[in-house]
């Protein structure tokens, strides 16, 4: 056997050992548990009675906190931010929030009816929703149950003259029952429901305060 052949076999053997070591040392990865915070359609209140006049407003822009907008669940502890391990939303949080917003307006008996861009209808008002915070805050330490915090700003504008007819900021807080994924997701669901209710009420007040005429 030549020196070149010997070195070649030694190199291959070392590479095999390194590869085997990497496979052995890799930790077992747990599949991520999926959660959502959209309301259960069966639990929504009845839609307003047929024939009741409702004023159309269109979703006119808005933003969602970039770090929380994806499908990972954002957490905070002091100045540090991280994503909840082995837990994700079924879709990006911003998409789930938009879906929940549509469902909340559809179920509301109020005067405001939300339509999305591209949807048929003649909107009179515009609705802007900015979500600046959407996270689970470990304000009592990493082992305690976190507090879900949602901060948002809502603006209702009359499209005819771009006049702001209603504007409100909201901060919703909901403590998880325990420090685990399911309980944290449930706290998000409860907090989101309260936030969505505030958005719908603000829209109803804007429609009432700023008629088109």
Q: Is residue 162 part of a domain?
A: yes
In the numeric block, which tokens belong to residue 33?
């548990």
**What pLDDT is recorded for position 184?**
97
Residue 175 lies in a domain: yes
Sign, Cα dihedral of 182, 178, 175, 64: negative
Supply the pLDDT for residue 209.
84
193 in a structural domain = yes
Say what the pLDDT of residue 213 is. 53
Asked if residue 14 has pLDDT above 60, the reply is no
204 is a domain residue: yes
- The count of C-alpha atoms lying within 13 angstroms of the C-alpha of 118, restricted to the half-sphere facing its C-beta, is 0
pLDDT at position 183, please? 97
Residue 203: phi and psi, rounded to 5, are: -65, -45
Q: What is the pLDDT of residues 97-115, one digit of tens each?
A: 999 999 999 999 899 999 9
Total tally of structural domains belonging to the chain: 1
Reply yes or no on whether the pLDDT at 133 is more than 60.
yes
DSSP code, position 108: -
Judge if pTM exceeds 0.85.
no
For 97, the domain range is 34-209
More confident residue, 161 or 49: 161
Task: Report whether pLDDT(26) > 50.
Answer: no
For residue 77, tell me if it sits in a domain.
yes
- Look at residue 1 and tell me if it is in a domain: no
Residue 166 within a domain: yes
CATH of the domain at 43: 3.40.50.10610
Binned at pLDDT 50, 70 and 90, residue 67 comes out as very high
């Amino acid at each position: 056997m030549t020196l070149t052949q010997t070195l070649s076999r030694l190199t291959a053997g070392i590479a095999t050992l390194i590869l085997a070591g990497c496979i052995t040392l890799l930790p077992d990865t747990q599949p991520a548990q999926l959660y959502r915070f959209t309301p259960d359609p069966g639990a929504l209140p009845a839609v307003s009675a047929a024939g009741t006049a409702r004023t159309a407003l269109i979703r006119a822009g808005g933003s969602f906190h970039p770090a929380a907008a994806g499908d990972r669940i954002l957490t905070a502890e002091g100045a540090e931010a991280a994503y909840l391990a082995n837990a994700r939303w079924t879709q990006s949080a911003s998409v789930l929030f938009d879906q929940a917003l549509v469902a909340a307006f559809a179920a509301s008996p109020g005067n405001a009816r939300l339509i999305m861009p591209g949807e048929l209808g003649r909107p009179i008002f515009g609705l802007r929703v900015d979500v600046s915070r959407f996270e689970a805050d470990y304000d009592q330490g990493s082992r305690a149950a976190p507090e879900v915090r949602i901060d948002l700003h809502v603006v209702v504008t009359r499209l005819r003259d771009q006049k702001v007819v209603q504007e409100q900021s909201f901060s919703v807080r909901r403590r998880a029952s325990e420090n685990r994924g399911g309980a944290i997701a449930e706290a998000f669901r409860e907090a989101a429901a309260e936030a969505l209710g505030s958005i719908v009420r603000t829209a109803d007040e804007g429609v009432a305060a700023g008629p088109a005429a």
